[in-house]
Amino acid sequence: MSTALSPLLAPMLSSAAMRAVCDDVACLQNMLDFEAALARAEATTGVIPTSAAGPITTACRTESFDLAALADAATRSGNLAIPLVKALTANVAKSDADAARYVHWGATSQDVIDTGTMLGLRAGIDVLLADTGRAVIGFASLARKHRNTAVVARTWLQHALPMPFGLKLAEYAAALHRSKKRLQRLRTETLALQFGGAAGTLAALGDKGLQVAERLAQELKLPLPEAPWHTHRDRIAEAASVFAILAGTCGKIARDVQLMMQTDVGEAFEPSGEGRGGSSTMPHKRNPVAAASALGAATMAPNLAATIFAAQIQDHERSAGAWHAEWPTLPALLLVTSGALAAVVDFAEGLEVDAARMRVNLDETGGLIMAEAVTFALAEKIGKNDAHHLIEAASKQAVAGKRHLRDVLKADANVTAHLSVDRIEKLFEPMAYQGVAQALIDRLLASLDEK
């Protein structure tokens, strides 16, 4: 597995599919795929003999290489591509000495590594797209199911107003869908071939540089950029930003689930299962383990992205140091983003909702959560300032006397002079005070339409 995360901890912080993408063998194969495609492109354009492409392509298989030996040699050469090309050349020579002369013809180490990175990013984005799609579908389904389930809306962790739980769920779906669209744009518009030769001019290929580049891009199914981008790392930085945003969205959702799972709240829960969420000493515990993993992964993502941003500052046409910092950082960012997202998929497809407890919590403050509703109803009669002061005083009276606000208001002649007892009763029905929440749910769900 990639050294970006410890093999012992990686399953808690990343998805199995992304670990396969970031595996050292997969990363090595991406670089070998570049070399094989380069040979075919150059044979097609007449740069190297047609007979050389087959032996080179055949030799581009990871099982023929010693990863530990390559890693050791990289410490002396400064990057992995140099010993890889040397080993590949030796492997080709075993079957065709003449073909071995044309391995890596006209390319540079950075072409191999950066294009390998692009191929890895494409595979990683596909993993994220699949899981993001599942999460969007899951939360959208939950939003429809719970669009009339009343829950406490909290501001500053305090009870604020009632809201439909479906609105919160639809917001999750829409936020994830926005990340899905970013990932799709990233895949189609940002990923690009890296092929520039020693200094980005393709001088070794004479006047055939662009022909080879075009054919190479076709072979690898990567967009051909206007020019090589060796030290312009905005593509990598854009990818990092998209991943970090997705991880942050997942972290926000995980935080909500973690808070809803608190014993004193108990409104919604991660899916349960044998051995899941237990304590090493307290048999009654049901800990938010997936939320904790998501939050751990999402907490790591911004600093990993920051390293990628810092690595944009590179010198002249090819740089050293900052480029090296990307190698372990980008896989680590992909891994933790996948981990945060995997937990959110778990929530989306198996969230356990306790609507009865939500209703109990709405009544926890003895009707104070409906104070705004009463204030605005009264404001239509006596003005907002007077209504605010009147309901504020009634709220304090309710708290001091441990009474329900509704009962205090019914006994207040200053209120009943303008609002009937029946009207006051209706004002304390949570779902009667939801503004345009239902329309917002519809708008959010409509935004998920891929068309």
Which residues are annotated as catalytic? Answer: 279, 318
Residue 178's CB: how many other CB atoms inside 10 A? 17
Instruction: Give the list of residues 6+ apart from residue 276 with CB closer than 8 angstroms, or none.
Output: 270, 289
Number of other CB atoms surrounding residue 347 within 10 Å: 28
Half-sphere exposure at residue 16, Cβ-oriented, CA atoms within 13 angstroms: 0
What is the Cα–Cα distance from 172 to 178, expressed in whole angstroms? 10
Residue type, 59: A
Helix and strand counts by DSSP (H, E) for the chain: 20, 4
d(CA 123, CA 297): 20
CB contact at 8 A, 340 and 297: yes
Pairing type for strands 268-269 and 150-155 reads unpaired
Question: Which residue type occupies 397?
Answer: Q
Four-CA torsion 281, 285, 290, 294, nearest 10 degrees: -80
DSSP symbols for 89-156: HHHHHHH-HHHHTTTTTT--HHHHHHHHHHHHHHHHHHHHHHHHHHHHHHHHHHHHHTTT-EEEEEET
Q: Please report, as a single letter, which amino acid is at residue 260.
A: M
